[in-house]
A and B are shown apart, each in its own frame.
Chain A
Amino acid sequence: MKPGDGVETYEAEAQPRLGFFTDTSVCIGCKACEVACKEWNLVPEDGLAWTGHSYDNTGELNANTWRHVAFIEQQAPDPIKQGKQDFRWLMESDVCKHCTHAGCLDVCPTGAIFRTEFGTVVIQDDVCNGCGYCVTACPFGVIGKRERAAASSPAGAGRTSGQSPDVLQTAVASDGLGVIGKRERAAASSPAGAGRTSGQSPDVLQTAVASDGLGAITKRELGGDGGMHKCTLCYDRLQNGMEPACAKACPTDSIQFGPLDELVERARERCGDLVEAGVSEARLYLADENDGIGGAGAFFLLLDEPEVYGLPPQPIVPTKNLGTIWGAAAVAAGALAVGVAAAFLRGEE
């Protein structure tokens, strides 16, 4: 697996690429990953709407959902039951793919999105201006905007626990969700494990959590910063030698975390075992460095076509053809110029 684009700029500080292997064949749909992610990263509650879509009331990945467990109920042979059952209930914990060629990073005009020394892709929300280019550049629909407080629903008025939303917002904003740029990190140079995040005071975080009282923050209470948000692969935890919250919480090891090379090797073996055991449709998704995103830092073992899980079958980073497009544009412009010149020339004839 290639390192992510841009890791080379870390030179000696570059770390082995870290990522997720999500093995859907052992997912039990408990959503512990969703909850652990929100707890650790202070991601707001995302609305209390019942969808009626199986047990999925989360719906999709967005600014306020960085892990999403999809539930697929279908009339189709159940792979785990070797086709004996003509009905199946598949579960898959989806997440940001941390692409090798990341469209979001390519298009970000402010430099808010950067490649970390671990090869992961992170948004610095104190830099992000909320332009939203990254949303359209992501082939998977991972990124979303956390709307500003003013735009948030007033329905939460009766639900607030009494404290000023501003306090929380300030706290979280200064936290920056654990995203520390290379320069800051170098400056902080805190020993591993010293604090939850390097570079800012852990007290700020503590205040935010304590003032909530419920240990969780609702969107309505919090408001938003107007910036774009997605999975950071728990950058702050990685910097302190810890595994991401979702992987830590997953009871069945459906979410595995580690050096990407090791994960890919393990995943290939697991997938081979499954196919051998008769689960013929088992496949790895995004583990191929020759695919349209150069392979992902977060890849999956699926039990059927990606489309079954709502995943694009052949994702391609939108910027992949940028060079060709510019080249074509240049050719076209040249042709135009030649044509115009020719016209003038003809006119002179």
Chain B
Amino acid sequence: MGSNMAENHPVGFQWVMEARLKGARVIHVDPRFTRTSAAANLFVSIRAGTDIAFLGGVVNYILENERWFDEYVKHYTNAPVIIDERFKDTEDLDGFFSGFDPEARVYDTSTWHYSGLPVQETAGERSKGGTKGEQSGHGAQAGQFVHGEPPEEDPTLQHPRCVFQLLRKHFRRYTPELVSRVCGCTKEQFLEVAEALCENSGRERTSAIVYSVGWTQHTVGVQYIRTAAIVQLLLGNIGRPGGGIVALRGHASIQGSTDMATLYNILPGYMPMPHAKQDTDLATYIDNHSSTIGWWGHFDAFFTSQLKAFWGEHATKENDFCFDYLPRINADHSTYQTAFDMLDGKVTGFFLLGENPGVGSSHAKLQRLALASLDWLVVRDLYEIESASFWKDAPELETGELETEKIGTEVFLMPAAAHVEKDGAFTNTQRLLQWHFKALEPEGDRRSELWFMYHLGRKLREKLADSDDPRDKPLLELAWQYATSGPYEDPSADQVLREINGVGPDGSALGTYADLKSDGSTASGCWLYVGSYADEENKPARKVPGQEQDWIAKKWGWAWPLNRRILYNRASADPEGKPWSERKKLVWWDTAQKKWVGADNPDFQEEKPPTYVPPNGARAENAIAGDHPFILQSDGRGWLFAAAGLMDGPMPTHYEPHESPFSNPLYSQRSNPTRQLFARRENPYNPAESDAYPYVVWTYRLTEHHTAGGMTRTLPYLAELQPEFFCEVSPELADERELEHGGWATIVTARTAIEARVLVTERMKPLVVDGRKVHHVGVPYHWGTRGLTTGDSGNDLFPVALDPNVHIQEVKAATCDIRPGRRPRGKALTELVASYPRTVGDEA
């Protein structure tokens, strides 16, 4: 669901096809019939933006038909835990949970906590500070656990305030009838999927759920995945072979860049970026973010080691290990807020590395206007992409919204080396690091990112060498010594991996994050990657073929953490430590050896017996009981109910997309009340349920092109395969709007209007939702003004309306109008758009 795996992850999809050949049933639930649907055993079409209703229906089906994996649920999830008596559900408050502040549009999450635990939760406090979601919660709910268990539980799952009963009440109205009414599929189709999942789960069998940006890119994106987590926990499909939730990433190493803190609010290894007001010194910061229970109990060791990796000998206990050298955050500095900050002159310089927001980001037009407001811009890419050339060819030049002469941005275009021209590791979806070796030297001025960053740092440090200004010290004292080689003095990627892995007091590579210390005696760039260079060996570079090792193939590359291939795999055994079944065994407790053994490396303390009961006052991993597999959670359990860490609710709720032709059939609250909107003239929204925008529209990718197209529109062999921007519509919509197959259509939203060739196809089908027929318009987003094939950018259509937890844009469901023919040129274009209704901010 929410994934077009065959088209966008064709190499990974080989394993799905192999599984299908071996008898696995492949089910695809998606608005559009894609190449994935073609390869699936069952395809169910649902309205874009309704996946929570569908999955919530599955949750309800499991609960009402007693299909949950009882032993798994009772022992491994927080189903028995009793929640604070002040908690109120959306069923009580018509679409709101308790704690909502209508002024600030944020939740005080203190009523969502476990009953009997003191309120101590960082994310909620931060939200009161006026910023949303800039601190990622670890589920680190500290408190007074009794022998590792929350103080109030009901193992019979009957207490009205236990998670199990709250879940049942929350999803009770998500009946097959409601699913059909909201999603537009038939009741029978829904039941077939729900039953297939239940049938294929349990002791003997497991089911996996695959998702991609079709789930994440919504104003309730995080809650989409939460719903899947609930389904998988109820069915016992987490931590077991063939189970799990597979989050497919859209680029070769997006997982790696996230691990290494590509986001503004985290440091490598998912540690929070310090907050200017709340994290005043190291002790306070550690106190704010560590947990007494679970592996986050070693937060101080992970963090101190990172500071040692950054500043080496300069980081000492006396100077808080250079904690004050770290930049601070005090608000939302995510990509969309930053674009507005550019427009407002608050951000004047910008680096773009391997990203093309002028095509690839929601409301791409806004992005181009923002880039044109900068003083300087550095773009590193393979080609001169639209985000570098906007000053001479942006569509806004034609409409008069930009004038080249008036754009002051100085653009520095730095040619980048391709992946075959540099060494390095890709970290993929399953946390697997795979090393790639340089095949040839880059030509001309092309250089690797590593080269660029290292030499930029080196040159800055040389220029500042004589400075005694305190503000230059963080740069001057950086540990910045790397061996270089080759004609361009490329720094050693291997050495960087070793630095990320970390070293002990004797300078040798560390083997496990358990050896990290908070006293400054160890250094490690990212605690999750400790072990990737164990025994002084570049483990990701191991390439032992599958047929030369056992089925789990631990000698191919290296997976974090500690080469564990399936996370939380303690759950593959029952509470006593025995495999749930012979067929699905993975790791188990060997009573003779007194340790966990099996095909995979156990994601658990190797010698902790299943019977282990933590003494009161135990800390960190020692506070987790022997039958609780989820070792990063403070209670060691999978959370059906997220008592902390989320901005928009402890349980997922169906809300309509921000732009939707429908009201919410469940609540009078239409959309996620905490979604992040920007009430600005440059960012108008389509009014909800507006007749002017009757159709549902979303963006997607095609196999033949890659994201914003910079790497594919420029290549003849790929450009010729999908040589023109097109939109996909059903024959019914084509009739309704007189769209001609092969002709042109103009698609209109409050942002702009774009034109595309029309592909009329029966793969697009109108759905009947709430008694009304709804049409979809499909828009691949690869095109822009440059390359061998050019066209309007699909992302120009979409607004900046974001998920409150992670600031991701809603481009997988919005509304539009579509008309036959090409769009107007020049000022006539802006006049057409102005003739449509618009709102600013949330007037719904």
Contact = CB atoms under 8 A, between A and B. Distances in A.
Main secondary structure on B side of the interface with A: mixed
B33 to A, nearest CB: 7
B693 interface: no
Nearest to B20: A26
A217 B42 CA distance: 41
Contacts of A32: 10
Nearest to B11: A251
Contacts of A88: 38
Given A84-B42, A215-B715, A30 B10 contact: yes
A50 B716 contact: no
A90 B35 CA distance: 9
B6 A30 contact: yes
Main secondary structure on A side of the interface with B: loop
A252 B40 contact: no
Interface in B718-734: 718-724, 726
B278 interface: no
Interface in B745-798: 757, 759, 761-763, 788-789
B741 interface: yes
A29 B35 CA distance: 7
Interface residues of B, number: 44
Contacts of B42: 81, 84
B37 interface: yes
Contacts of A339: none
B747 to A, nearest CB: 17
Interface in A56-113: 57-58, 73, 75, 78, 80-82, 84-85, 87-91
Contacts of B717: 34-35, 38-39, 45, 216
Contact of A48 (B37, B761, B789): B789
A89 B38 contact: yes
B480 interface: no
A80 B724 contact: no
A47 B723 CA distance: 9
Interface residues of A, number: 43
Given A57-B721, A57-B723, A80-B41, A28 B13 contact: yes
B14 interface: yes
A52 interface: yes
B10 A45 contact: no
A344 to B, nearest CB: 67
A187 interface: no
A273 to B, nearest CB: 9
A289 interface: no
Contacts of A216: 715-717
Contacts of B761: 54, 73
A89 B763 contact: yes
B704 interface: yes
A252 B43 contact: no
A46 B14 contact: no
B21 interface: yes
B742 interface: yes
Given A80-B38, A84-B42, A159-B788, A251 B14 contact: yes
A218 interface: yes
B7 interface: yes
Counting chain A CB atoms within 10 Å of each CB, the highest count among B38, B41, B720 belongs to B720
Contacts of A253: 14, 17
B703 interface: yes
Interface string A194-216: 00000000000000000000111
B742 A58 contact: no
A14 B36 CA distance: 42
A115 interface: no
A60 to B, nearest CB: 13
A81 B759 CA distance: 25
A216 B713 CA distance: 13
A50 B17 contact: no
Interface string B5-33: 01100110110011011000000000001
B39 interface: yes
Contacts of B829: none
B702 interface: yes
Contacts of B757: 50, 52
A87 B20 CA distance: 20
Nearest to B43: A85
Contacts of A159: 788
Contacts of B716: 45, 214, 216-218
A75 B10 contact: no
14 contacts: A28-B10, A28-B13, A30-B703, A45-B716, A45-B719, A47-B723, A50-B724, A50-B757, A52-B726, A73-B761, A80-B40, A214-B716, A251-B14, A252-B17
Given A31-B703, A31-B704, A252-B13, 13 more contacts: A26-B21, A29-B6, A30-B6, A30-B703, A55-B704, A55-B722, A73-B762, A89-B37, A159-B788, A216-B716, A251-B10, A251-B11, A251-B14
- In the A-B complex, the 9 residue pairs with the smallest Cβ-Cβ separation, listed nearest first, are A45-B716, A50-B724, A48-B723, A89-B38, A52-B742, A30-B10, A28-B6, A252-B17, A251-B14
Interface of B: 6-7, 10-11, 13-14, 17-18, 20-21, 33, 35-43, 702-704, 714-724, 726, 741-742, 757, 759, 761-763, 788-789
